[in-house]
Structure 1
Amino acid sequence: MKLLFIVDPLPGLKIHKDSSYAMMREASARGHEIWTAQAETLCVRAGRIEIHAAPLSFSDTQYGHDWYTEGDYAAMALTDFCATVMRKDPPFDQQYLYATHLLSLAEAHGAKVFNSGQALRDFNEKLSVLRYPQFTAPTLVSQQEDDLRAFLAEHGDIILKPLDGMGGAGIFRVRNDDPNIGSIIETLTCNETRTVMAQRFIPEIAAGDKRVLIIDGLPVDWCLARIPKTGETRGNLAVGGTGVAQALTSRDREIAEALGPQLLAQGLLLVGLDIIGDYLTEVNVTSPTCFQEISTQSGINVAGLFIDAVERRAA
């Protein structure tokens, strides 16, 4: 098959842990033709949804920038590919939104896109947990300082986070006695002009913020618990958390099996649920990670499971 991966610039990929790299390498090992492109080159020309793409081949080198060779870039229609895998990282800004609209147009012309443009628009990675209140800790969404202060007064220990970030960026833990409450709220809400999310603090974060992967509606049997470093609340690997693979708990599986079929029906082939303790905290759909960490520690070929799903859906 001829597969297109829309990714961030290749020189910046950290191939020792990057999930997009693992996907592409797995697909190439199976004999598929791999092309890559950046989302900002999407365009509409003469009614066709095109992108500036180049063929990719892999070298034996596993380090540095010598792991790949690119062919010549060309304007290609998304319908020229058997499948397109959208893997651009957030932030989900206005340009990202435009890209999802172009992906939806391409799908209307017959292109197969994973995850679909419509699903990427519908499932904000923070707000989507509100669809599943039976699995979430107490949550507030607001841009009003009075609302956020009242939520803090009610729960005493909360997490504040922006709605468009990734990797733990912009996340604050706030307690009633924090002398910086006002400044934190002003900064995150841009003086009550930007909506944020507040969640009751979940002490089980000490045991890890678990990334549970759902592929083609089914949970991967092992997850990655991202354990905060000393003195840190966030477990994200991007801010120094330690990733420990572990088998799903019964609660992890309950949540994943309840959501999996619904998410697949909405056009989401790959989802990364974030679960702390018994609570769902995020539904990651843009570029879920942790493939390599789970594979290395558990022996499960997660990239293989994903490419299996792409092959099925593109056939």
Structure 2
Amino acid sequence: MAHSVLVVMDPIDSVKTQKDTSFALMLEAQRRNWTLYYCQPQDLYLAEGKVKALCQRVKVQDNPNDWYSFQDASQIIVDCGDFSAILMRKDPPFNMNYIYSTYLLELAQQQGALVVNDPASLRDCNEKLYTAWFPEHTPKTLVSANAEQLKQFAHEHGDVIFKPLDGMGGASIFRVKSGDPNLSVIIETLTAHGQDLAMAQQFIPQITEGDKRILIVNGEVVPYTLARIPSKGETRGNLAAGGSGVPMPITADERAIAEAIAPDLVKRGLLFVGLDVIGQYVTEINVTSPTCMRELENEYKINIGAILFAALEKQLSA
């Protein structure tokens, strides 16, 4: 049976093909003879009770100079329920427009499409806060908008990471040590003077060994990780913040952490997830548009996208 997939993502003409996971998933869909469609979140809309997409059929090729071509002269309108699957791959920030998109995708799901990741779980599982569901695997953490509480946490632990709840790529992440004269202004900035929640976590020294990205696909833990190692003078391993990615086999401890979390992911319909693990601790659970797939596939003889699409095909044939 022929399948089709709509990939909802950022502009396709801006992707970096050598490391873009959404692009790699599109390549795998095409290899499996799925009809491939593309749109951006603002191209989804609701009319007469049906969720529709202004989209284009697209062909992709693994060529950094010529990686896509549209098969339609202009956008066409397709009922989202007619797609076999929809991949929601929009990068953060997780703002109200993103939430509105998940409502539309939840309706599309009810109308027949298999949506990855599950739209309700995208709303429920904030990438920072979702770690609180697994306290035995997380560092000491405080989430608060209260300046005095955040200051007390910093004084108690001495070396602390502060970050917003809606960021990505290491943006607006601060490391604060005892006596830092900027503590108050950092808290004011992150909380908008006490209006917004922010997260404080005890600093994990093992960041020097890398912020490990562990991919979990349909509950299956990928046996390799990408260690994002901070550049000199940095405490952030994020590749977007200048970190370097080093592929390596997963350790027994890392696998144990991932396998402890995996069943809850499957239960929530989170089929493609990236854990961020530093030392023995999970610091984030990335559910919106996890990355690092291409780096691992380029280093090792593994097809991570095939694991996902095999799971989709199994669900669609059930």
Identify whether the pair has TM-score above 0.5, normalized to the shorter chain. Answer: yes
- For 1:94, the equivalent position in structure 2 comes to 96
1:177 Cα deviation from its structure 2 partner: 2.1
AA aligned to 1:63 is P
1:245 Cα deviation from its structure 2 partner: 1.1
- For 2:29, the equivalent position in structure 1 comes to 27
Matched position secondary structure for 2:28: helix
Q: TM-score, with normalisation over the residues of structure 1?
A: 0.97
- For 1:63, the equivalent position in structure 2 comes to 64
Does the CA-based 8 Å contact 1:213-1:220 persist in structure 2?
yes
Does the CA-based 8 Å contact 2:139-2:282 persist in structure 1?
yes
AA aligned to 2:299 is Q
- For 2:41, the equivalent position in structure 1 comes to 39
> d(CA) in 1 for partners of 2:29 and 2:107?
26
Q: TM-score, with normalisation over the residues of structure 2?
A: 0.96
- For 1:78, the equivalent position in structure 2 comes to 80
Matches within 5 A, 1:25-174: 25-59=27-61, 62-64=63-65, 66-70=66-70, 71=72, 72-174=74-176
The number of aligned residues is 313
1:148-198 Cα deviation digits (max 9, x unpaired) = 100001100000000001111111111112121111111111111110000
Gaps of 5+ in 1: none
Matched position secondary structure for 1:254: helix
Does the CA-based 8 Å contact 2:26-2:60 persist in structure 1?
no
Cα RMSD, aligned residues only = 1.1
AA aligned to 2:68 is Y
> d(CA) in 2 for partners of 1:245 and 1:314?
33
> d(CA) in 1 for partners of 2:216 and 2:81?
26
> d(CA) in 2 for partners of 1:5 and 1:302?
17
Is 1:281 aligned with 2:283?
A: yes
- For 2:314, the equivalent position in structure 1 comes to 312
> d(CA) in 2 for partners of 1:50 and 1:304?
27
Gaps of 5+ in 2: none
Does the CA-based 8 Å contact 1:86-1:113 persist in structure 2?
yes
> d(CA) in 2 for partners of 1:240 and 1:305?
30
- For 1:195, the equivalent position in structure 2 comes to 197
> d(CA) in 2 for partners of 1:4 and 1:239?
30
- For 1:263, the equivalent position in structure 2 comes to 265
AA aligned to 2:294 is Q
Does the CA-based 8 Å contact 2:83-2:112 persist in structure 1?
no
Aligned pair partner of 1:220 in 222, 237, 257: 222
Aligned pair partner of 2:180 in 168, 175, 178: 178
> d(CA) in 2 for partners of 1:310 and 1:203?
39
- Determine what percentage of the aligned residue pairs are the same residue: 47
